[in-house]
Amino acid sequence: MIAKYKLVAEKIKDHINSDELFERRLPTERELALIHGVSRQTIREALDLLIKDHYIYKIQGSGIYVSDAYFSARNKIALIVESEEDYIYPELISYLKDAVRPHGFSLDIHVTNGHMSTLFDVLNSIKANPVRGIISIPVRSALPAPFESVYSELIKMRIPSIFYMDTYSYIKDIPCVRYDDTFSAYRVTLDLLKESSCLYGIFLTDSVCSHYRFSGFIQAATEKKLSPENIHVKWISSEELREYRTLSSIKCLKDFVKEITSDSNRNVALLCHNDEIAACVCDLIDKKKDMPAICSFDKSYLSRLPEYDFVSYSPDKKEMAQAVIKRLMAIMDRDKNDTVRNSGSLSVTFPVSF
């Protein structure tokens, strides 16, 4: 059986994390005893536990105060992202900041650089220094990792999470806002096959959303009754994609791109998981040869550069950011008004613009 003072300590923590506490200063011991219906001795033991955990501190003759980190964290949403500077992330961060600001929150940005170990450290850091909610862009989402237990612990601490752009296949209880990956890839592939009889695709081995896109790609190819010899697929890893960022080339793609451009007897189409891969393919293609029809996803700045000849698709990123914040605020409101500790598994998918 849990000691009474520990239960009271948890109730005081819930009060600190709620929207009801606007001041750093807590009620007096006597007031807390009346609020919680316990003795002042129980309150003292509960407060001593919170002081030991650095949640609160006392000033003799002045009162009991919430520690700086915990009080300021009441208005912060943690955003876990691969980078603040590369690819689509600056745009996503900007839209999320705009969407969260009217709710009185700010973003506390944590960068993983695509490393699972860094993400694990970030999640444990948030456990030690709680925020009001977490928006997480998953790292290598198709690979097994010990994140499920950490996210469950955060939910029990009333720190709800939401996944953005991608999701972990083995975590079922956290909602996600992402592209409608399967249908989008299906539609784009059908468009590519209007002018092409030979289909190529490049996907990420360690990304759940890339597996969804591959599914749509195969559905379209099957519907068009393409024979197996006319369907060519290359799988690469996120680590290999990061090689492109640093070296502007992916060695493992050179032979595949050579195969694409040498397939001169048929009209060739290529679907890439995202703009980074499409840009890499364009870098590797001999400009003297005919370019295949290339499509990808994300509609990043790369798709607008004149040296890259491919078409990119994306949902409205501003609308997606607003949906992420709206969903997270709904979870936070439910956790505040009810005693539900689970963030729910409802996911929201956005169609791309064709």
Between 147 and 204, where is the model more confident?
Answer: 204
Q: What is the pLDDT of residue 321?
A: 96
At 13, list the tokens. Answer: 């923590």
At 288, list the tokens. Answer: 């003297």
Taken in order 203, 205, 206, 208, is the CA torsion positive or negative?
A: positive
- 3-class SS at 253? helix
The tens digit of pLDDT for each residue in 294-351 reads 999 999 999 999 999 999 999 999 999 999 999 999 988 775 544 434 444 456 788 7
Options 1.10.1240.10, 1.20.80.30, 1.10.10.10, 3.30.930.10; CATH of 4-70? 1.10.10.10
**pLDDT averaged over the chain?**
87
Whole-number Å distance between alpha carbons of 165 and 173 = 16
At 87, list the tokens. Answer: 């690819």
Return the domain boundaries, the chain: 4-70, 75-178+318-337, 181-313
Q: What is the pLDDT of residue 252?
A: 83
DSSP output for 44-72: HHHHHHHHHTTSEEEETTTEEEE-HHHHH
Between 222 and 228, where is the model more confident?
Answer: 222
Whole-number Å distance between alpha carbons of 42 and 38 = 6
Can you give the length of the chain in residues? Answer: 354
Residue 209 near residue 240, CB atoms below 8 Å: no
On the 0-12 / 13-18 / 19+ scale of CB atoms within 10 A, 349 is middle
Q: Could you tell me the pLDDT band of residue 270, with boundaries at 50, 70 and 90?
A: very high
Q: Could you tell me the pLDDT band of residue 135, with boundaries at 50, 70 and 90?
A: very high
- Common-topology check for domains 4-70 and 181-313: no
The tens digit of pLDDT for each residue in 85-134 reads 889 999 999 999 999 999 888 899 999 998 999 999 999 999 888 888 99
Between 87 and 145, where is the model more confident?
Answer: 87
As a whole-number percent, the residues of the chain with pLDDT over 70 amount to: 90
Q: What is the pLDDT of residue 338?
A: 45
Options 3.30.420.10, 3.40.50.2300, 3.40.50.1370, 3.40.50.1980; CATH of 181-313? 3.40.50.2300
Q: What is the pLDDT of residue 108?
A: 92
- 3-class SS at 274? coil
Residue 206 predicted with pLDDT over 70: yes
Q: What is the pLDDT of residue 262?
A: 81
Q: What is the pLDDT of residue 37?
A: 92
Whole-number Å distance between alpha carbons of 179 and 59 = 51
Phi, psi at 131, each rounded to 5°: -120, 180
Tell me which residue of 168, 129, 176 sits closest to 149, measured CA to CA: 168
For residue 256, what are the CA distances in angstroms to 129, 147, 202, 270, 322? 47, 34, 9, 11, 39
Taken in order 127, 132, 137, 141, is the CA torsion positive or negative?
A: positive
**In the chain, which residue ranges form alpha helices assigned H by DSSP?**
4-17, 29-36, 40-52, 68-73, 89-100, 116-128, 148-156, 181-192, 208-223, 238-247, 254-262, 275-284, 317-337
DSSP output for 306-332: TT---EEE---HHHHHHHHHHHHHHHH
Q: What is the pLDDT of residue 342?
A: 44
Q: What is the layout of strands, in order, in the sheet containing 76-81?
A: 106-111, 76-81, 133-136, 161-164, 176-179, 348-350
Q: What is the pLDDT of residue 61?
A: 82
Q: Mean pLDDT, to the nearest integer, of 228-244? A: 91
Tell me which residue of 59, 35, 34, 48 sits closest to 5, measured CA to CA: 48
Tell me which residue of 246, 312, 310, 258 sits closest to 284, measured CA to CA: 258
As a whole-number percent, the residues of the chain with pLDDT over 90 amount to: 52
The CATH class of 75-178+318-337 is: alpha beta
Where is 296: in which H helix or E strand?
A: strand 293-297
Q: Mean pLDDT, to the nearest integer, of 132-158? A: 88
User: What is the DSSP secondary structure assignment for residue 292, as one 8-state letter?
Assistant: P
Residues 6 or more apart whose Cβ sits within 8 Å of residue 193: 199, 220, 221, 224, 226, 269
- CA 41 from chain centre, in angstroms, equals 45
Q: What is the pLDDT of residue 39?
A: 93
pTM of the model as a whole: 0.79
Q: What is the pLDDT of residue 340?
A: 39
The tens digit of pLDDT for each residue in 23-53 reads 678 889 999 998 999 999 999 999 999 988 8
